[in-house]
Amino acid sequence: MTAKLMDGKKVAQTIREDVKRRVDQLAASGVKPGLAVILVGDDPASRTYVNSKKRTCEKLGMRSDLIEYPETVTESELLSAVHRLNGDPGIHGILVQLPLPRQIDETAIINAIRPEKDVDGFHPINAGRLLTGGEGFIPCTPNGIMKLLEFYGIGVEGKNAVVIGRSNIVGKPAGLLLLRKNATVTFCHSRTENLQEITRQADIIIAAAGRPGMLRGDDIKEGAVVIDVGINRKPDGKLTGDAAFDELEPKASFITPVPGGVGPMTIAMLMANTVRSAENSLLKDKQAETM
């Protein structure tokens, strides 16, 4: 068996087309979805991500504000910026590029974002809604993974899904989304014993550990679906995933490449969340008018 490649660039394009159509619809009501990104410091990887988010926003006709602070910024300065954006009616999504410097309590900053503008889906209210099955913003990377599975017609119900990684950003929400779709989910992490025994049982594996090439050919069963979330930079500067692609491709039924798999989906889902936030706020305004 040679795995079918799950083309994140192609699927992300379909998501962006839908976002563009909705942006045009909102324009007819005089609304332009706005995303504000707060960037602290000069980390090149963070800057690359932020620039790419900004470019995508602009291509889709959305407003994009980049608010930059030096590495020495204080927590109260960042909190003031978040409060200002919370109150700005032209901003529908607020994103704080992580990680933040040591002197800043990341949780305090994320908790200060109004949940209706938390397009990253990291606020505890949105995380709680995901846990309890309510409507809220879902973190972009796991949401993108689910869209990829859906696009390629990969059924999840009843399947044995193994998630390697338990971060609040990727692993946990990915597992919860799979559970919502009735998969049987196992979470693995750095303390997991006999990881290989577990991954070999998996129909679907989400590799999100940030460990280059850790998932090897012998770690999966024939026909497994491999979603590689990892983004790791090799000494030559090229990107590589958590999956040893060359070993897994002959054995898996589907696999995502790195780059070009989950990565493009993350930004597309951020755009989708931002346009949804703008739609929600327009609906709220209309409801307020009729009251």
Total residues contacting ligand NDP (rule CB under 6 A)? 26
- Three-state DSSP state, 50: helix
Specify whether the CB–CB gap between 29 and 284 falls below 8 A: no
Of 83, 189, 233, 238, the residue at the interface with ligand NDP (CB under 6 A) is 189
What one-character DSSP code corresponds to residue 41?
A: S
x-or-dash string of contact with ligand NDP, 123-152, rule CB under 6 A = ------------------x-----------
Tokens at residue 120, please? 């990253």
Tokens at residue 175, please? 């597992």
Of 167, 186, 253, 280, the residue at the interface with ligand NDP (CB under 6 A) is 167
Give the closest residue to 26 by CA, choosing from 268, 269, 275.
Answer: 275
- Contacting ligand NDP within 255-284 (CB under 6 A): 262-263, 266
CA distance 215 to 252: 12
Of 35, 170, 177, 272, the residue at the interface with ligand NDP (CB under 6 A) is 170
- Contact flag: residue 239 with ligand NDP (CB under 6 A): no
CA distance to 39, 137, 219, per residue, from 269 (Å): 19, 10, 30
Specify whether the CB–CB gap between 64 and 35 falls below 8 A: yes
Of 35, 62, 164, 244, the residue at the interface with ligand NDP (CB under 6 A) is 164
- Contact flag: residue 229 with ligand NDP (CB under 6 A): yes
Active-site residues, by number, are 53, 97, 120
Q: Which residues sit at the interface with ligand NDP, rule CB under 6 A?
A: 141, 164-167, 169-171, 188-192, 195, 208-211, 214, 229-232, 262-263, 266
